[in-house]
Amino acid sequence: MPERPDLPRAVTDLVPQGLITQVLGHVPAEGYAGGLAWLPTVPRLVAELVEQWRLEVTGPATHGYAALVLPVETPGGPAVLKIAWPHPEGRDEHRTLGLWGGHGAVRLLAADPSRWALLLERLDPRDLNGPPVSVLDSCEQIGRLAALLDRPAPPWTSLSASDHLATLVADLDALRAGDRARSLPRALLERGRSLATDLATEPGIDARLVHSDLHQENVLWRPDPGEWVAIDPQTIAADPAWVVAPALWNRWPESAAAHDTRVHLRLRLEVLCEAADLDPDRGRAFAEIRMLRNAVWEIQEGTATAAGLTRHVTLIKAFQPA
């Protein structure tokens, strides 16, 4: 794929290259537009939303994992306009933010779900992804937010852990039967399949609304009154311990540099679980299975590297029983 495909100048002037690369590099979910179809619509979406919400764009665009973010001024003060590339994990963002009502999460000012657009309060850009916030302090803060954001899963929640785990079991079966079966250790695949099968059938596996991507870069500072809040909720109906894994696979250099990576990662998990009032054994089980899911995705997409798979195996084994 060329670094900059044949896109209109209006797109390349507005959309950061990083977001262009990101959305073009992913196969869209079934029923969703691919990046090459979505990107040309972005300038029109921005113009329509600026008019609809009476906004003034006040700076260049930035981007998240799959969304354009523009600083804007509204009649009520500064805000940010977020326009997401349509993807299943983002379907419930506006409903989730509305449910949380700004308590522990960014405030939703307006939403246009048909355009995958949100108007959000403007936060300070500092996050938990490095100094002066230590890695253990970041895990403690994420645990506190997980507890604050915990709610029963509403009926409108689109994704569920039971479905996610059933898909993982099917993907593990296909991987073990295919020509890439040796990409990961056989014992790791067999243990993962057994664990996913057991977890998927547990009562209450889909009982709570969980921010499934609550990691250090998805927590920003709210200057008034002075508190950390979550952003970018990719929510799922799941066990509360589903929340743990992203805070552990992020800030990887500190894990890799630790004297004992396994001890370091397990300490991070214990700090997070204590702050969130979660059972550490549940946290370890869901961390292991979610990290296996990441490894299998990379193998399926053809993006896996030897170094990346080694990292995944290290993470997975860190949370297995000794």
Query: Active-site residues: which are they?
Result: 213
17 alpha-carbon distance from chain centroid: 20
Side-chain-facing half-sphere of 72: CA atoms under 13 Å:
26
DSSP for residue 76 = T
Helix, strand, coil share of the chain (percent; to 5): 50, 15, 30
- Shortest CA distance to 159 belongs to which of 217, 98, 96? 96
> Cα separation of 109 and 82, whole Å?
11
On whether the CB atoms of residues 79 and 108 are closer than 8 A, the answer is: no
> Cα separation of 125 and 221, whole Å?
7
Residues 6+ apart with CB under 8 A from 96: 105, 209, 211, 233, 235
Amino acid at 187: A
> Cα separation of 45 and 198, whole Å?
44
User: What is the end-to-end Cα distance of the chain in Å, rounded?
Assistant: 44
Side-chain-facing half-sphere of 205: CA atoms under 13 Å:
18
- Shortest CA distance to 199 belongs to which of 304, 96, 315, 282? 282
On whether the CB atoms of residues 209 and 105 are closer than 8 A, the answer is: no
Q: Is 48 helix (H, G, I), strand (E, B) or coil?
A: helix
Question: Hunting for tokens 């954001």 — which residue is that?
Answer: 149
